[in-house]
Amino acid sequence: MKYKRILLKLSGEALMGNQQFGIDPVRLGEYAEDVKAVAEKGVQIAIVIGGGNIFRGLQGASKGMDRVQGDYMGMLATVINSMALQGALEDLGVKTKLLGGLAIDPIVEETSGKRVIEYLNEGRVVLISGGTGNPFFTTDSASALRAVEMKADVIMKGTRVDGIYTADPEKDPTATKYDTLSFDEAYEKKLKIMDLTAFTLCRENKLPILVFDMNTRGNLMKEVMGQGNGTVVK
């Protein structure tokens, strides 16, 4: 195994599958099966999921809603997504623990780096919801923060595309793919990999970011074993 301890970042939109809103049970089940397969190999996995399939704080703010209120609503959306994935994993017999930037008794325990590591060492898949617990921060920033706290080997950002390109490959057929990038190169080229707060946190802590296609079955396993074709920023 190339990576022993990973933080898997998933977008909320990915859970929609082919729907326009909410959670697609088929996509949810596929993700759970891929995570289970990797966990059974002894890889320690923590997961941060966005909430964009349910609510985005910025969208609410653009329509006149208070930004702070909207961000907290977005954090609660990540709790719903995390609970859904937790349920799917437990249905497959995977032991899990749900932590969060927002403690919600009795379903979400307050997160800390020490707590995450303890549960990972018990062989659990740890889901970390609620963002950073503060408004004005994205789930990208939360995933970078949690990955640093838990001393992860890598942030694995699961997306719809198989890596980082010179432009959006879904819009520009001439876009070419990078195999590896330095943080400096990615910054200079203004590549939208993660938001600047998250990106800076990874850079300062020498934490690599691996961007890969999570929607192709088995790709998570390939990437963990070092046999995938995603793009690494380091």
Give the pLDDT of the chain (234 residues) as one tens digit per residue: 899 999 999 999 899 988 888 999 999 999 999 999 999 999 999 999 999 999 876 666 677 788 899 999 999 999 999 999 999 999 999 999 999 999 999 999 999 999 999 999 999 999 999 999 999 999 999 999 999 999 999 999 999 889 999 888 888 889 899 999 999 998 888 888 898 899 999 999 999 999 999 999 999 999 999 999 999 999
Instruction: Say how far apart CA 183 and CA 68 lie, in whole Å.
Output: 31
pTM for the structure as a whole: 0.95
Pairing type for strands 125-129 and 96-100 reads parallel
Prior bond of 173 cis (ω within 30°): no
CATH code assigned at 48: 3.40.1160.10
10 Å Cβ neighbour count for 36? 16
pLDDT of residue 57: 64
The dihedral through the CA atoms of 113, 210, 81, 74 has a sign that is positive
pLDDT of residue 191: 85
The two tokens of residue 94 are: 């995977």
Q: What are phi and psi of 53, to 5 degrees?
A: -75, -10
Instruction: Say how far apart CA 137 and CA 176 lie, in whole Å.
Output: 30
Q: What is the total count of domains within the chain?
A: 1
What residues make up the domain containing 180? 5-233
